[in-house]
């Protein structure tokens, strides 16, 4: 478990007694466990890929920081919307459409009533710079890979 260095000792002790390793890492500028610190530690431990299944802030942060190299997005045939409705990711987002990563190539799989979209995020600006118009991945190869 990754947690703030100030996590309650009693909670840490319960997790450790159950066999878990509890690691305190630095906080980000918002006072949350730093995703960068967690990924750095995982990389030092030889972990080269993780499944990032989290809330909108965690996913938004990973996308903006270029730490996602594969997306698996489950879609249900339910329309949710309005002020305060949950979204796929939260936080600062991307400032303009040209700065938004695209998902390519896209594969669709039907799972009962739901659908699974699979693909790889690419930076739109990278397409113009890449030879032959090929797009470069969003993820930084120096950090562990993540799927969301």
* pLDDT single digits (tens) 84-142: 887 778 887 788 888 888 899 999 999 999 999 999 999 776 544 444 444 444 444 44
**Among residues 86, 26, 100, 98, which one has the least CA distance to residue 57?**
86
Q: Where are the alpha helices (DSSP H) in 18-143?
A: 35-44, 56-64, 124-129
* pLDDT single digits (tens) 57-94: 888 888 888 888 999 988 999 988 888 887 778 887 78
Dist CA 103 CA 2 (whole Å) = 29
> Tokens 């979204």 — which residue?
87
Q: What is the pLDDT of residue 141?
A: 43
Cβ contact 66:122 at 8 Å: no
Q: What is the pLDDT of residue 80?
A: 86
Q: Which residue has the higher pLDDT, 91 or 16?
A: 16
Q: What is the pLDDT of residue 26?
A: 95
Q: What is the pLDDT of residue 125?
A: 61
Q: What is the pLDDT of residue 130?
A: 40
How much is the pTM?
A: 0.67
């Amino acid at each position: 478990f990754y947690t703030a260095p100030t996590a309650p000792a009693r909670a840490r002790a319960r997790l450790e007694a159950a066999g878990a390793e509890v690691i305190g890492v630095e906080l980000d500028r918002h006072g949350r466990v730093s995703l960068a610190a967690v990924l750095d530690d995982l990389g030092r431990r030889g972990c080269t890929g993780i499944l990032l299944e989290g809330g909108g802030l965690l996913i938004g942060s990973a996308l903006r920081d270029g730490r996602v190299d594969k997306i698996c997005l489950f879609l249900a045939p339910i329309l949710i919307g309005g002020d305060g409705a949950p979204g796929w990711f939260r936080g600062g987002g991307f400032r303009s459409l040209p700065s938004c990563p695209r998902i390519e190539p896209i594969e669709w799989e039907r799972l009962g009533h739901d659908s699974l979209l699979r693909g790889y995020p690419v930076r739109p600006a990278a397409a113009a710079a890449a030879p032959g118009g090929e797009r470069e991945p969003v993820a930084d190869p120096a950090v562990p890979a993540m799927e969301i």
